[in-house]
Structure 1
Amino acid sequence: MALRLVSSGDGPSLAIRDHLLPLVRARGTLEVQRDSVRLIVLKTDGWVFEHWTPFNDLMPGEASSPGYRHALQRQNAAPDLPYGLDVWHAGTKVLSMLWADDGAFEIIDFVRGAWEVEALAL
C-alpha cells in the first residue's frame, strides 16, 4: 500500500472544487472539445474557472464500450488524473488541481486567502 502525505490544504481545496464544479458546468461555456480534452470556462466578476475533462473522438472502427476505454486506462503505469480545475481570482491563479474518478487527486497550486470564503459563497 502506498503512503500518501496529506496537506492541510487538501480538505479546503476539495470542498472548493466540489462547490464550484456544478456552477462551472451549469454556467460555463465550452471552449475546446477536440483531441483529448473538453475545456469549460466560466468568467465572472474577477473570477476565471477553467475545468477540463477527458474527451476523445472515436477513430473509425474503434470500440466505444466503456470496458474498452477502462482497459486502455489501466495500461498506464502512473495513475491517470484526467480531470482538472484552475481557479483565477483578480488575475492570480489561486487553485490548480487534478483528479480521477477513483478519488485520486493532486493539488498543484493552492494559495490560501480570503478568496476561499468568496468562492464558497458563489
Structure 2
Amino acid sequence: MTLRLVASGDGDALALRDHLVPLIRTRGAIEIQRDAVRVVTWRPGDWGFEHWTPFNDLQPGEASSPGYRQALKRQHTEPDLPYGLDVWLSGTRVLSVLWADDGSFHVAAFSRGPWEDDALAL
C-alpha cells in the first residue's frame, strides 16, 4: 500500500477547481492552442482564471502509434499532470492546481481567504 500525504486544504482546492473549470470552459476564450497546450482564460472583474489542457495535434514527423506514445509515457519518472488551473485575484495568484486523468494532482499554491466563498458564488 502506498501512503500519500494530503495537505488539509487539498479537498477545498479541488472543490474550487471542480466549480471553476466548467465556468472557465463555457465563459472563457481560447488564448493559446498550439504545440501540446490549449489555454482558456476568463477575466471577469478583478479575477483572472487560466485553465490549460493537453492539445494533441501531431507534429510533422511525430509517430502516431498508440504503442509509441505509451512507451514515451512510461519513460517519465513522475506522473504527467497535463491539466492545470491558476486563479488570480487583483494580480495575486491565490490558487494553482495541476492534475491528470488518473486522479493524481498537485496543489502548487493555495492562499486561503474570503476569496474562496466569492469564487464559489460565481
- TM-score under structure 1 length normalisation: 0.90
SS of the aligned residue for 1:31 comes to strand
Residue identity opposite 1:26 in structure 2: T
After TM superposition, give the deviation of residue 90 of structure 1 in Å.
1.6
- 1:82 corresponds to: 82
Structure 2: runs of 5+ lacking an equivalent: none
- 2:100 corresponds to: 100
Q: Runs in 1 of length 4+ with deviation above 4 angstroms? A: none
After TM superposition, give the deviation of residue 35 of structure 1 in Å.
1.2
- 1:40 corresponds to: 40
RMSD: 1.6
Structure 1: runs of 5+ lacking an equivalent: none
- TM-score under structure 2 length normalisation: 0.90
> Which deviates the most, 51-60 or 85-94?
51-60
After TM superposition, give the deviation of residue 85 of structure 1 in Å.
0.3
Distance 1:116 1:107 in 2: 15
Distance 2:113 2:65 in 1: 44
Q: Percent identity?
A: 64
Distance 1:111 1:104 in 2: 21
Q: How many residues are treated as equivalent by the alignment? A: 121
- 1:110 corresponds to: 110
SS of the aligned residue for 1:22 comes to helix
Distance 2:70 2:76 in 1: 11
